[in-house]
């Protein structure tokens, strides 16, 4: 069985999955080492099935150990040191998921341990001397964090019941119910009521029981003994009922030693793979940055050649492909993605046309006259633009940037969709069907201020700032006041180019600088109106959009192939575990 583990190291380390986190700067932390997780699960499964270390016929059988424990408990009860326990239910065949080796037996934790929860913190009733205690926030899988211990009063007669001694097993009653660690310290510690103390009889190895609980967490079996959704709990009765495949004492010790050794190897593999992922991501970010920082076409070609020569080893993770996508967007708005055409009408002329159109709309009463925006100073210009381009403030080229009234309209069963970021789907999708619905009266009243239409941008201003959507439907709906709507001047600005800017690093950096740091980070309408936009000629906007679409399709193909390869590795890891268990 050890060979099964060591001969498949490549599969364990290469089976990775992408986490769902979308936060900025997650980097290599977004890669979940699925294969190593499955390896740990396999080790623990083998351990508690008696397949990890060989049995020794000279070991005293577990049934003899149980007889000794029974006598020990009877003596303690007689001496008044232990309360007589309620009889536990007999273990039925359905609770025995596999055959046991010779010398093993099935028991419940309540048969082999004394257990109780800690002291309840109640300032009105507590008295005694102040002592440090631990709670669930100090207790993690296999270790304790003791930097900030609290104190509460304990009376002398409570100390024995509410104190953990070396090698006691401590188990969370609440939070992540069942999370456990062995108290390995030489000094004693008091514990609070959301922790169970499990003190094993007969010299049973508490680390073996810890590894059993850890295995149950990996496989999900521990959920059978939990109650509650989200924040779960595990009662003392549930803890006592946990079924244990119990080996002889000597074999318990051999299992614990071997599991520790193999888990240490897993730790090394995990560190090595995490470091490798981090180094890979740093390399990708560094090389892509040379594209955006290139000072002239020669530097750009040289930087691209370095990337092209190693493309197959650079873009091997979802994170690296996402970084490539972001670089494409940034190159697009810097004027480095497609060549300029000196025959294109300059953006300065386009601005004049936009100003004339807005003046006409003001005169016709279709839009309000805008307040003058601040002049763009030389210091504000983030980078040098190509010939024919110009810097503008976003509101200069938008028909309108605003939001609806901030009073929440009543929800109705059938009506018009009232969209918020929670209704955003992948690939620029918007779930109009699943969105909250509002009445026609509320829709007409709110739409009079601003309504998103095809070609406009919905820009979340709270929480997921800048996770924007380009409206591609002609259906009537509204965006909630947690978003602003950027109304596009359709005959002047290419909607997809404006969207490319809105999701580029350039726009995201400006959003970060403009964030109001309150309870929930947000960006004001005025700040968004004042974002600096690099404006290319109209015809170049169209060429940029076409090139971005082409390159994004390539990236999506790369990602699909990567997912297929990851799925294969994950299936291989799963298959090895299943093979070992069969």
SS3 letters for 507-558? HHHHHHHHCECCCCCECCHHHHHCCEEEECCHHHHHHHHHHHHHHHHHHHHH
The contacts of residue 24 (CB under 8 Å, 6+ apart) are 508
Diameter over CA atoms, the chain: 102
Which positions ≥6 away from 205 have C-beta within 8 Å? 249, 252, 253, 256
Nearest to 140 by CA among 209, 79, 210: 210
CA–CA dist 415, 409 (Å, integer) = 12
The confidence score (pLDDT) of residue 26 equals 43
pTM for the model:
0.67
Distance CA 319, CA 306 (A): 19
Q: Which two tokens stand for residue 255?
A: 């299992």
Geometric angle at alpha carbon 88, from 87 and 94, rounded to 5°: 150
- Take residue 563 and report the two structure tokens written for it: 């997912």
Using DSSP's 3-state secondary structure scheme, residue 356 falls into: helix
Contacts of 448 (CB under 8 A, 6+ apart): none
CA 135 to chain centre: 25
pLDDT at 570: 65
Helices (H), 293-317: 297-309, 311-314
CB 133 within 8 A of CB 190: yes
Classify the C-alpha dihedral 497-399-430-526 as positive or negative: positive
Contact 486, 494 (CB under 8 A): no
pLDDT in tens, the chain (582 residues): 555 555 555 555 555 555 554 433 344 444 566 778 888 888 899 899 998 899 999 999 999 999 999 999 888 888 888 888 777 889 999 999 889 999 999 999 999 999 999 998 876 667 789 999 999 999 999 999 999 899 999 999 999 999 999 999 999 998 899 999 999 999 999 999 999 999 999 999 999 999 999 999 999 999 999 987 767 899 999 999 999 999 999 999 999 999 999 899 888 888 887 777 788 788 888 888 888 888 888 888 888 888 888 787 788 788 888 999 999 999 999 999 999 999 999 999 999 999 999 999 999 998 888 888 899 999 999 999 999 999 999 999 999 999 998 888 999 999 999 999 999 999 999 999 999 999 999 999 999 999 999 999 999 998 889 899 999 999 999 999 999 999 999 999 999 999 999 999 999 999 999 988 777 788 999 999 999 999 999 999 999 999 999 999 999 888 888 777 666 666 566 666 665 556
Task: Print the SS3 string covering 420-485.
Answer: CHHHEECCCEECCCCCEEECHHHHHHHHCCCCCCCCCEEEECECCCCCCEECCCCCCCEECCCEEE
> Three-class SS of residue 153?
strand
Tokens for 359?
Answer: 């003046």
* Burial (Cβ within 10 Å: 0-12, 13-18, ≥19) of residue 340: middle
259 in Cβ contact with 297 (< 8 Å)? no
Beta bridge partners, 66, equal none
- CA geometry: angle at 458 spanning 417 and 354, to 5°? 125
* Of 539, 534, 513, 514, residue with least CA distance to 524: 514
Structure tokens at 342: 């000196």
- Report d(CA 140, CA 180) in Å as an integer: 6
Residues 6+ apart with CB under 8 A from 323: 281, 284, 285, 288
Residues 6+ away with beta carbon under 8 Å from 409: 418, 438, 439, 442, 446
CA distance 493 to 400: 13
Q: Which residues contact 408 (CB under 8 A, 6 or more apart)?
A: 481
CA distance 77 to 161: 15
The domains of the chain, with CATH numbers, are: 1-47+268-341+542-582 (no CATH), 60-247 (3.90.220.20), 347-536 (3.90.220.20)
Q: Which of 327, 317, 326 is nearest to 277 (CA)?
A: 317
Contacts of residue 294, defined as CB under 8 A and 6 or more positions apart, other chains included, come to 300, 302, 303, 336
**CA gap 536, 348 in Å, rounded:** 9
Identify any residues that bridge with 485 across adjacent strands, giving them in sequence order: 402, 458
Quote the CA–CA distance of 465 and 211 in Å, as a whole number.
43
Backbone angles phi, psi at 372, to 5 degrees: -60, 135
């Amino acid at each position: 069985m050890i060979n099964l583990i060591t001969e498949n190291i490549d599969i364990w380390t290469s089976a990775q999955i992408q986490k769902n986190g979308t936060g900025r700067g997650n980097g290599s932390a977004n890669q979940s080492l699925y294969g190593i997780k499955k390896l740990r699960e396999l080790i623990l499964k083998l351990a508690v099935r008696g397949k990890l270390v060989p049995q020794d016929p000279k070991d005293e059988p577990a049934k003899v150990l149980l007889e000794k424990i029974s006598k020990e408990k009877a003596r303690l009860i007689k001496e008044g040191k232990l309360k007589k326990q309620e009889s536990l239910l007999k273990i039925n065949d359905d609770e025995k998921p596999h055959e046991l080796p010779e010398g093993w037996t099935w028991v419940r934790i309540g048969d082999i341990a004394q257990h109780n929860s800690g002291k309840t913190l109640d300032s009105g009733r507590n008295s005694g001397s102040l002592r440090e205690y631990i709670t669930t926030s100090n207790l993690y899988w296999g270790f304790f964090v003791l930097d900030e211990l609290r104190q509460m009063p304990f009376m002398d007669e409570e100390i024995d019941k509410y104190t953990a001694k070396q090698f006691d097993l401590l188990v969370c009653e609440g939070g992540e119910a069942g999370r456990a660690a062995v108290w390995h310290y030489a000094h004693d510690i008091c514990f609070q009521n959301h922790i169970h103390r499990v003190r094993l009889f007969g010299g049973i190895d508490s680390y073996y029981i810890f590894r059993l609980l850890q295995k149950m967490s990996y496989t999900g079996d521990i959920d059978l003994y939990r109650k509650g959704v989200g924040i779960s709990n595990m009662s003392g009765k549930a803890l006592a009922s946990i079924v244990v495949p119990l080996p002889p004492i000597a074999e318990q010790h051999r299992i614990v030693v071997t599991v520790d050794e193999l888990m240490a190897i897993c730790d090394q593999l995990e560190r090595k793979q995490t470091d490798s992922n981090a180094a890979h991501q740093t390399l990708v970010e560094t090389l892509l940055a040379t594209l955006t920082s290139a000072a002239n076409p020669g530097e750009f070609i040289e930087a691209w050649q370095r990337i092209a020569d190693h493309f197959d080893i650079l873009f091997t993770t979802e994170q690296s492909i996402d970084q490539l996508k972001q670089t494409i967007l940034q190159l697009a708005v810097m004027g480095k993605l497609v060549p300029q055409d000196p025959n294109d009408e300059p953006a300065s002329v386009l601005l004049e046309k936009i100003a004339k159109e807005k003046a006409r709309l003001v005169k016709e009463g279709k839009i309000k006259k805008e307040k003058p925006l601040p002049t763009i100073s030389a210091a504000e210009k983030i980078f040098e633009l190509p010939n024919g381009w110009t810097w503008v403030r976003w509101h200069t080229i938008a028909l309108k940037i605003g939001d609806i009234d901030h009073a929440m309209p009543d929800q109705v069963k059938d009506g018009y969709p009232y969209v918020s970021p929670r209704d955003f789907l992948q690939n620029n999708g918007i779930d109009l069907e699943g969105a909250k619905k509002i009445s026609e009266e509320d829709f007409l009243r709110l739409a009079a201020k601003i309504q998103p239409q095809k070609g406009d941008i919905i820009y979340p201003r709270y929480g997921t700032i800048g996770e924007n959507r380009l409206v591609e439907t002609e259906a009537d709906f509204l965006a909630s006041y947690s978003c602003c709507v950027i109304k596009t001047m359709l005959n002047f600005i290419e909607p997809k180019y404006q969207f490319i800017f809105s999701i580029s690093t350039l726009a995201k950096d400006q959003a970060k600088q403009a964030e109001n740091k309150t309870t929930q980070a947000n960006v004001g309408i005025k700040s968004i109106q004042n974002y600096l936009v690099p404006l290319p000629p109209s015809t170049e906007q169209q060429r940029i959009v076409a090139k971005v679409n082409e390159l994004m399709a390539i990236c999506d193909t790369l990602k699909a192939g990567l997912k297929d390869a990851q799925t294969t590795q994950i299936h291989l890891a799963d298959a090895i575990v299943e093979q070992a268990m069969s």
